[in-house]
Structures are given as structure tokens and as C-alpha cells.
Structure 1
Amino acid sequence: MYLLKFAHQAMQKLPDVSVVELYSDLCLLGKESQAFFNRVSSKNGLELLRMKDPNSIKIVEENGKISIKYIDVHGHSNSVTPDMVVLAPAIEGARDAQVLSEVLDISRDRAGFFIEKHTNIAPVSTLREGVFVAGCAQGPKDIQGSFAQGQAAAGRILSHLIPGEKLALEAMTAEVDENLCSGCKICISLCPYKAITYDDVERHVTINEILCKACGVCSAACPSGAVKAKHFTDTAISAEIKGLVEHCQGKDGSF
């Protein structure tokens, strides 16, 4: 997006300039950015060239001039001979974000940004209760997007600081059958919410229902079947499958 701003400023100050933009993909954030793109791209003097792979770009010197070689989306080799080259590298997560990620125990994506709990229904929350993310810590954002996410994160934090507030527990949290638990601790390493701990005295795991978010990972991974998700027991699910099969099955045994 900021590459379009460079082109816009160049064409404003130098009306006769010709700008060529090489891109692999355009990231337009919101209607404001879309409107800006439509306005700038419609001007004479701007040429947008889409390339297949950014790593294919090579800047070489030919006959005393700069030449940019690239592969377009059709797989053909092309070149551009500009008077000036302006680099516009992609935004990546902060280098020291790894340290913060380990301290707060929250995940990052391949680009180094912190991962939100859910893109649509929990865009500023993380898998760690009480830890929120906003702005460019989550990914590339414009000023409006960062401001809106900052307000949303602040609102979520303030909603947890109400005196006397009662916490609503998940109805489908996991539970442990102490007689079946072998103490293998597999569920502890897999729980993304750190809701499971091991009781050295009783020699079985326990689940903190406040931290548990009913994701079901521990129940699926438990080799002894000691961990079960409330309202989703093996017996109940097996009965549902059996009822569905009987309902769909024809009199001759076919489906």
C-alpha cells in the first residue's frame, strides 16, 4: 500500500514522470485504501506489473543503465529499465517478538506476527487468557485499523476489571477420570491454554475449569481415555452416530 503512496507523491511533484510498480500481491486495508488505489491506478503515468515470484527479481547493470529482470504471472521473463529504483519490502514481525512470545506463551505466524485467537470472532484476543494483541503486532495495518484494534483491546481489558465481576465458565470443559489417568502428561504438553497440571501426590492430572476453553485437544490425545469433554463423551457420540446410520439406512441395508 505504501508503494502506491510513493507513486502518488512522485506523480504529484513530477507530472511528467512514469512510474512502474512490480508487485506479487496487493494488500488493501479497508474501503479507504481501495478508494485510494482506484484513484491512483487510474492516473496516466502509472503501470502496475504483477510478478510471479518476488525472489525472481534481479537488478543488473546493462550498458551503463539499471535493468530489473523478473518473471511475470504467466511465467515469462521480462525486464524494466528505470532511472531510479525504490525498494518497498514487506513488513515483518519485530525481531525481539520471539522473546515476548516465549514470556507470554503466545504463538507467532511465519512472518513473525502474533496470532489472534480467532480472525472473525476474537480478532484482538490470544490463546492466553488476559493477553491481547492489536495493530502491527498482529500484522500489517494502516493507522485506522491499528487505532480501532487498540480501542477494541482496551475495551476487552476494561471489561475484565469490573469489581465483583463473575467469570462465566465454559459448559463443555474437559474432566479427568482419576482412576483411568496413567500420568503420562501428554495432555499437559498439548493444552494451548495451560489449563492442565499434574498432581504429584495423587499422581494424576487436574484441569483448571477457569482456564479450560473446551477445545477438546486433551480428550482426543489421551491414550487411556481418562480425559473426556463434558457433553461429548464417547458413549454419547457413538449413540449419535448409530442413530444417524439407522436413520439414513434403507430397509435393504443400503444408504
Structure 2
Amino acid sequence: MTSNKASSDSGPVSASMFQLLVTSHKEKDVGNVKVNEKSDLRSVIIQGIRDLMDEIQSVHENIELMTVDLIHDNEILLTPTPGSSTVLNFLLKASLKRKFTVLITENYPNDIEICHRFAKKLADANIESVIIPDSTVFAVMSRVGKVLIGTRSVFVNGGCVTAAGVATVCECAKEHRTPVFTVAGLYKFSPCYPFDRNSLIEVGNSGKVLPYEDSDLVGKCEVTNPLYDYVIPEHIDIYITNIGGFSPNFIYRIILDNYSTDDVDLS
């Protein structure tokens, strides 16, 4: 005669995240002896979080290993993303074995202070750095050897979301046949496809573009201050990740290897 105790003891499923991490015990009959089967979901989740933290902490170290092969002596580099710590560490590591010049766009009006702090950190490492206005990118691109950009997220089609103004820089680089290198850790890769690109662009305070003193112009023009840009995969030459360098056309394969098909469906 089979006991229905297991089914009667199971209470309602709780949606609380705290309940999901509680250790549960199950009993099963093996002959005439009851054995406690311990299902410790909490330890599995904690170990998964620790593995992710270790991967994020080692991202910069693994990316920095490729600096010598990608940057040459006396080369002029341009970066329109001074807020990227990955790009900063990439340049600092490269300066140990290479001598080069870095052009930094000021990213008006949102990242001017970040740009100056970025340039100071490079100067402290004896890296020659020059801050240039955003409007001069096309003029100086002919002398630039490589463009280095950081990202906020990378999509399955090979496109990425990054700081405002980067899309224009990448378009200028495409016109001058200048390679664009995107530096990003694997944890920034997303299984989503950017169907609605406008929804990816967050808009900031328009007062930074048009100050209050010029309020007479508010009713005569539309002022927007985008905080991010979407860069199409055709304007990116290679993604430098902590597991190697990949073409934008190969990003979908990397995402399939790191995401379960059940996790990709977010509907």
C-alpha cells in the first residue's frame, strides 16, 4: 500500500525569493528505512553567484593579455568611452610594453568630468593623452590607428549599447577604414535581439544641452539629450572579450554556448 504523505505535506508554492533559498528536506522509503534526501538549492545558487563574481573580477586580467598583440608602438588610439573601466585597464596594461597616444572625446555634455578624470589616470601612468571636442572626430580620424570603445551590453546580432556619441565615431571610423575594437566582458553579452532600437536609448536632462538662460528657445526647437547610443554590428570590427577576440558575426555562437535555450525566451 503506497502512502500519500509526500503529496499531503507539500504546501502552496511561495513566490518569495527568500523561500527559494531555504534548505528543503524530503523523505523517501528505501525498504523499511526512511532516508532524508537533502535538496540544498541555496548552496547551488550561492556557488553560482560566487562563480559569476570570480569571472567578473578576472575579466580585466584576461582581456589585458591581448594588449601586446593589438597595440603597436607609437600608435594613435581614440576612445569615445572614457567612462569604461575595461578600456582604462586595457590601456594601462598596454602602456607597460607599448608607447602610444590616446585621443579622448569629451562626450559633451554628460561625461566631461569623467573624461578629465580618465585623462588624468592615463597621464599618471605616463601615457600621452589628448582631450578633443566631439566635433573634431572626423578631422583627426585619418591619423588614428584604432578606435577602442567600451559597452554596456552586447546583443546577439553583434550590435551593442554604449555611451552617447559613439555611433558617430564608429561611422567616421568606417569611412576612414579605421578598425573599431570593442572591449567587453562576457557577462555583458545578452541573448536579446534589439528589435526596437529607440527603446534602448535613455534620455537624460536636456538642461545640460540648453541651459535655463536660453529658455526663450525652448518653444522654438526640440532638445534631447541621449545618454546612450546603439552601434550597429557593421561598424564594429572585433570584440575583445575575456575568452578571446571574436567577429560581430560570431557573437550569436558565443551567446548560445553561455545561455540555455530556456533562458533566452523572456516572454
**Could you tell me the TM-score, scaled by structure 1's length?**
0.24
Higher relative contact order (CA 8 A, sep 6+): 2
Q: Which has the higher strand share?
A: 2
Structure exhibiting the larger radius of gyration computed from Cα positions: 1
Q: Which has the higher helix share?
A: 2
**Could you tell me the TM-score, scaled by structure 2's length?**
0.23
